[in-house]
Structure 1
């Protein structure tokens, strides 16, 4: 049995200025996306300016979509009672599914500005995403949030600020699966020319499947608990469309030229 290391969420305190680990994870996420994108930008037909724009638009989509998605998917009743909570970002709360929808919408904005084909943009972007997701899960772990369900596995971890039970370190499961493993699969798969939206389909399917599985080890949100069939969590429910759409994009008949 392991014990949560109780890491100070503040990395550096400079007078009134506090740099949090979670903020650093966002910086690492966007920096890694830019670095990876720069390695393939030329081959994909992106100039340095266009690469900067697609990362910038994507970052806006992640932040705005992630916050809006969290409020609508996980705090809808509280939002109805107090719409102002949408702006209280300092209280925390981001949703991957909302952030992903934000990136999808920001891609449309980018396409209109630079006159790319939408599938070309999305297939270029999605391999850049998983390492950032992994950084976010590391931030969740350092912050001691989104812990797992009780377990008797030898790697079970006690989160003292929660209770005295050994729990799945589900944040680390997601770091490994949606961060490192999904990145490796997408990076290798996208190294060769693929039919339009094949790479995007693999991302949707891969993320959706791992999220659906990890949710069995992750503690459900206390205010939502199970949202369907007495066992399905909100995260699983939101991931099902990703699995279905991803599978469709992978098996549909289309040529490399689209």
Structure 2
């Protein structure tokens, strides 16, 4: 076997406290969220948005992402199971073969659902603090790819969302899954999202487009979900019903986000052109 293959056998659980596991995924999720909020602090200050509004943002974002991602997974990817076990949708527990419940954490989160949940909570947030909704969306969109970077890193630590078999020298062998060299699809996405973050943040720092016009929201979701569509081609199916589909559920759910991103980019560019010619 090619010695350049990366042997990946990381235990997703860092440690356990009285039956409650602390996992890399949860730690990375929170770390990414906190880092994004710290960057947003400087953006809020530059855009003259209140410090009080920034302090409340964590709660709104956390609830929106977690609930949306959880509901998205249960509805889009495993509705048959969770329609029969509704209590497991909202509580981090799972029923074992012996009929008793045990702590499982939220095993199953969908990024598309997380995006929808975040937008809904941001709408409530914008009304609460009297901030234009598009200003909030643009600000969040600047750091959104960075948050996605940490989530995909968490997926890598969980050895989940694995890629298809490959003979490339940087292939990962996910020992907790099988002994087959595979594309590290999670790593591809994490790197892509980090590059997107650097690009969007650079454009913002150059003051090319004013925040609140929808450009940053548009370019961020366009690039994120374009990469999602492309990388899905080298991912294993996440659920059984995707087998044989030309486009899997992740790709289908990404298309509306791509179209929405194109709309806001075009709208922002046209409005900027009108301002210059007026």
Provide TM-score, normalisation by structure 1.
0.92
Which among 76, 82, 87 is matched to residue 84 of structure 1? 87
Shift of residue 164 of structure 1?
2.1
Matched, 1:182 2:199: no
When residues 17 and 208 of structure 1 are mapped into structure 2, their CA distance, relative to the original with a 3 A threshold, is closer
When residues 151 and 207 of structure 1 are mapped into structure 2, their CA distance, relative to the original with a 3 A threshold, is same
Shift of residue 133 of structure 1?
1.1
Q: If you compute each CA radius of gyration, which structure gives the higher value, 1 or 2?
A: 2
Q: Supply the distance in 2 between the matched residues of 1:215 and 1:25 (Cα, whole angstroms).
A: 22
Which among 19, 22, 25 is matched to residue 22 of structure 2? 19
Deviates more, 1:186-195 or 1:68-77: 186-195
Identify the residue that residue 7 of structure 1 maps to in structure 2. 10
Identify the residue that residue 227 of structure 2 maps to in structure 1. 210
Identify the residue that residue 45 of structure 1 maps to in structure 2. 48
Identify the residue that residue 238 of structure 2 maps to in structure 1. 221
> Stretches of 4+ moved more than 4 A in 1?
14-17, 255-258
Identify the residue that residue 54 of structure 1 maps to in structure 2. 57
Which among 253, 262, 269 is matched to residue 247 of structure 1? 262
Q: Supply the distance in 2 between the matched residues of 1:87 and 1:60 (Cα, whole angstroms).
A: 12
SS in structure 1 of the partner of residue 26 of structure 2: helix
- Any idea what the Cα deviations from partners look like across 1:147-173, whole Å, max 9, x if unmatched? 111112121121122222211010100
Identify the residue that residue 165 of structure 1 maps to in structure 2. 180
CA RMSD of aligned residues (A): 2.0
Shift of residue 225 of structure 1?
2.0
Alpha carbons 1:29, 1:131 under 8 Å: kept: yes
Matched, 1:31 2:34: yes
Alpha carbons 1:134, 1:174 under 8 Å: kept: yes
SS in structure 2 of the partner of residue 81 of structure 1: coil
Gaps in structure 2 of 5+ consecutive residues: 93-104
SS in structure 2 of the partner of residue 131 of structure 1: helix
Give the paired residue count.
255
